Amino acid sequence: MTGLSTRCCIVGGGPAGMMLGLLLARAGVETLVLEKHADFLRDFRGDTVHPSTLDVMDDLGLLESFLARPYDKAERLHATISGQRVTIADFSRLRRRSNFIAMMPQWEFLDFVRDEAERHAGFRLMLDCEGVGLVEQGGQVRGVEAVGVDGPVRIAADLVIAADGRRSVLRSCAGLVVKDIGAPIDVLWMRLPKRPSDPAGSGGFIDTGHFMATIDRGSYWQCAYVIAKGGIEAIQARGLEAFRREVASAAPLLEDRVSHIADWNDVKLLSVAVDRLERWWKPGLLCIGDAAHAMSPIGGVGINLAVQDAVATANILGPSLADARIDAAALVPLLEKVQARRLFPARATQALQVAIQKRLLTPVLQSSGRQRPLGVPWPLRLMQRWPMLQALPAYAVGVGVRPERVRSPAAARPRVMAQSTG
Ligand SMILES: Cc1cc2nc3c(=O)[nH]c(=O)nc-3n(C[C@H](O)[C@H](O)[C@H](O)COP(=O)(O)OP(=O)(O)OC[C@H]3O[C@@H](n4cnc5c(N)ncnc54)[C@H](O)[C@@H]3O)c2cc1C
């Protein structure tokens, strides 16, 4: 068994873990990130980089270089409700430096953060290395058990961060209690080609019995077809041709290209979960991002919340972690402080998502067979009449509750890399 020791070990190289790795390394903290995959090149995992995440890049002096990576600019979101196209959010009305969503593949985002983090001597990323357990002593987490390419590794750390996503292994190992808030929906993801004549811009199609979000990715549409929870089996039992017809009637624009759904491998199921840990920490361990609160895909806010958690964690813990005189036990009150800071944004956002699930999505899905077309709801009618109101949903989605700004200092002198202990 290989042994390593570091000040902070982050398990999970997603948006939460990588951003925290960058911020801590920048603050002079010796930081080791473990990622179980060999790279960041995974299939679609959300491409939205919101104005508040762009503000974080700006705080770090990285906005220009970040936006030099390939991305598409989304300034507005639209919905087509029973054939009537309306604008549901206008980000260009936000008074911020970056008043748009940058649609950037998640691997581009993570590669960028990794490249920046690696400029700091204290940062180390171990790919192909899976956290499988915690090292505990007297009720205090003291490190992580992992399996890397060369076999088992034991990493001693003063602080372990579980940023290992919504199926977090570490939070289960720690016995932290998950509160299931519930989601009555699942989502089927698929790609369909975009034609030059298609209207530009992301949004969705809402009609009796159907809800389909369409994300404009330049050359193709990333489609998210919302179904009732567990409905995939019935859909598959009806057959692929019936599913293609269903997609065509959900989004008539796409009718001429549903044949591109060649088989069920082209359709990925996202089993939607909305949950939250009752306590995000125990001595020596803190959960952030989806590991602390799995979000519904409504609003596409999961990445943003994960990044905001990372910023708050670095703001609160960075200076103490950078001070070698502060021991693991003294960090415990700060873990509680991170939860106190980030619980409200997670809770408020989930409450809004649950309300939309109940009051909009479920009635739409249950309206199948209804003869009368769905009307445009009154808040959206008001927004078409007074477009300035389109800034409200843009703020809720693009900035969200309690946006974080980087306050953790950049270290004057970087520390050394994680050291092998045998
Ligand atoms: C299909 C899909 C579409 C989505 N679309 C959007 C969207 O448009 N906008 C949006 O904001 N959000 C979207 N989301 C949600 C978003 O991806 C998450 O909310 C966000 O990525 C959470 O970040 P995270 O870092 O907390 O967790 P994750 O992104 O889940 O990252 C966790 C990382 O930890 C790694 N890992 C897991 N277990 C271990 C282990 N034991 N050891 C080492 N590494 C481990 C994983 O490989 C992963 O890289 C989508 C999610 C899915 C599945």
Helix, strand, coil percentages in the chain from 3-state DSSP, rounded to 5: 40, 30, 35
Same-domain status, 244 and 129: no
Instruction: Tell me: pLDDT of 383 over 70.
Output: yes
What is the Cα–Cα distance from 116 to 20, expressed in whole angstroms? 12
pTM value is: 0.95
pLDDT in tens, 235-260: 999 999 999 999 999 999 999 999 99
Contact (CB, 8 A) for 266 and 326 = no
> Domain check: are 129 and 204 in the same one?
no
Averaged pLDDT score across all residues of the chain: 94
Residues 6 and 103 in one domain: yes
Task: Enumerate residues lining ligand 1, CB below 6 A.
Answer: 11-17, 34-37, 44-48, 130-131, 163-165, 169, 189, 270, 289-291, 295, 297, 300-304, 306
- Same structural domain, 278 and 266: no
Report if residue 407 sits inside a domain.
no
**Looking at the domain assignment, is residue 412 inside a domain?**
no
CATH of the domain at 75: 3.50.50.60
pLDDT attached to residue 412? 66
Ligand 1 closest atom vs CA 166: 30
Nearest residue (CA) to ligand 1, atom 8:
46
Rounded distance between C-alpha atoms, residue 313 and residue 408, angstroms: 9
Residue 215 Cα: closest atom of ligand 1 = 8
Q: Which of 308, 9, 45 is nearest to 148 (CA)?
A: 9
Res 369: pLDDT? 76
Distances in Å between the Cα of 5 and the Cα atoms of 155, 291, 319 are 5, 23, 20
Residue 171 shares a structural domain with residue 278: yes
For residue 308, the CA-to-ligand 1 centroid distance in Å is: 14
Q: Whose CA is nearest to atom 49 of ligand 1?
A: 14
Domain that holds residue 340: 2-181+273-398
Q: Ligand 1 centre from 289 Cα, in Å?
A: 8
Residue 368's pLDDT band (cuts 50, 70, 90):
confident
Instruction: Please indicate, yes or no, whether residues 10 and 30 belong to a single structural domain of this protein.
Output: yes
Identity of the amino acid at 44? F
Clarify whether residues 393 and 277 are in a common domain: yes
Q: Is residue 255 part of a domain?
A: yes
What does the DSSP 8-state code read for residue 113?
H
Co-location of 218 and 249 in the same domain: yes
Residue, of 412 and 233, whose pLDDT is higher: 233
Answer whether residue 312 shows pLDDT above 50: yes
Shared-domain flag, residues 383 and 279:
yes
Number of domains in the chain: 2
What are the pLDDT digits (tens) for 131-174? 999 999 999 999 999 999 999 999 999 999 999 999 999 999 99
Query: Is 109 a domain residue?
Result: yes
* Residue labelled with tokens 């479920």: 362
Pocket residue to mutate for ligand 1, from 77, 155, 290, most atoms within 8 A of Cβ: 290
Residue 78 lies in a domain: yes
- Ligand 1 pocket, mutate which of 9, 18, 35 (most atoms under 8 A from CB): 35
Residues 47, 151: one domain? Answer: yes
The answer as to whether 243 is a domain residue is yes
Counting ligand 1 atoms within 8 A of each CB, the residue from 164, 168, 188, 397 with the most, and so the one to mutate, is 164
Asked if residue 140 belongs to a domain, the reply is yes
In a domain, 408, yes or no: no
Is the pLDDT reported for residue 6 higher than 90? yes
Whether residues 85 and 210 share a domain: the answer is no
Q: Looking at the structure, do residues 210 and 170 belong to the same domain, yes or no?
A: no
